[in-house]
Amino acid sequence: MGHIGVARDLKAVLNHRGSKLEMCLPKVDDFKVNNTDFSVSVEVEDSELCPRYSGVSISGVKISESPVWLQNRLKSIGLDPINNVVDVTNYVLHETGQPLHAFDVDKISGNKVIVRKAKNKMKFTTLDDVERELFSEDLMICNEKEAMCLAGVFGGLDSGVSNNTDTIFLESAYFNPVSIRKTAKRHGLSTDSSFRFERGCDPNNTIYALKR
């Protein structure tokens, strides 16, 4: 589900044939927390559907076009560049196989992220500007007032990154594959994120992807 996964498979095959190759993963040692002045708290109400949820807030963000090298790498695998934040999450997704999602912190009411099931028949408008009727088995990423994202499948129209965003909360989670598959099928959605979550991501990879 990602370039590193392909490299891992190649290493296994070639070493089985007698090679002595080692995996060389991109280093993330330079990642460090500058301060904890601004925090977004996380509450997971359903740990069966979301066994692991990781996140980091990043301030001082300026939304702009990505550098040319990043745009070209995305284009080479058939993706259209959008902006620097969305592009880098897509880059890490296709590199590591771990989906990421960026929220505008100003739109996280109460500075609190809550992972919980939807209320049956509640309405939610996704990024494609379509209002959808949810089911009680759909897992949602919410703030204190409203839903922000159909977990692991599709973001909400009102919580994503815009040109005015200056602080983001970056999500990296592991969701139950069966739950994601059923939600995606119910709503007729198939995204790069759901495609991977449905097949089972590595729960031990969430922090590495965030640091990357």
The per-residue pLDDT of the chain, averaged, comes to 96
- Percentage with pLDDT > 70 across the chain: 100
Q: Which two tokens stand for residue 23?
A: 């995996």
| Distance (Å) of CA 67 to CA 72, 84, 96 | 9, 8, 20
Amino acid at 204: N
DSSP 3-state assignment of 200? coil
Q: Give the separation between CA 168 and CA 154, rounded to whole angstroms.
A: 17
Q: Mapped to the 3 state alphabet, what secondary structure does 59-90 carry? A: ECCCCCCCCHHHHHHHHHCCCCCCCHHHHHHH
pLDDT for 96-132, tens place per residue? 999 999 999 999 999 999 999 999 999 999 999 999 9
Residue 38 has pLDDT above 80, yes or no: no
The percentage of residues in the chain with a pLDDT greater than 90, rounded to a whole number, is: 95
The average pLDDT across 39-67 equals: 96
Distance CA(5)–CA(9), nearest Å, equals 6
Instruction: Please report which confidence band the pLDDT of residue 79 belongs to, taking 50, 70 and 90 as the band edges.
Output: very high
**Predicted confidence band at 39 (pLDDT cuts at 50, 70, 90)?**
confident
Give the pLDDT score at 68: 98
pLDDT at position 48 over 80: yes
Q: What's the confidence (pLDDT) of residue 201?
A: 95
User: CA 202, 206, 208, 211: dihedral to nearest 10 degrees?
Assistant: 160
Q: Say what the pTM is.
A: 0.93
Q: In sequence order, what DSSP letters do the residues of 107-171 get, joined into one string?
A: GSGGGEEEEEEPPTT-EEEBTTS-EEE--TT-EEEE-SSSEEEETTTEEBTTTS--TT--EEEEE
Q: At what angle do helices 3-16 and 84-96 cross, to 10 degrees?
A: 20
108, 93, 115: which is closest to 175 by C-alpha? 115
- Characterize the bridge pairing of strands 112-117 and 41-44: parallel
CA nearest neighbour of 41 among 144, 104, 112: 112
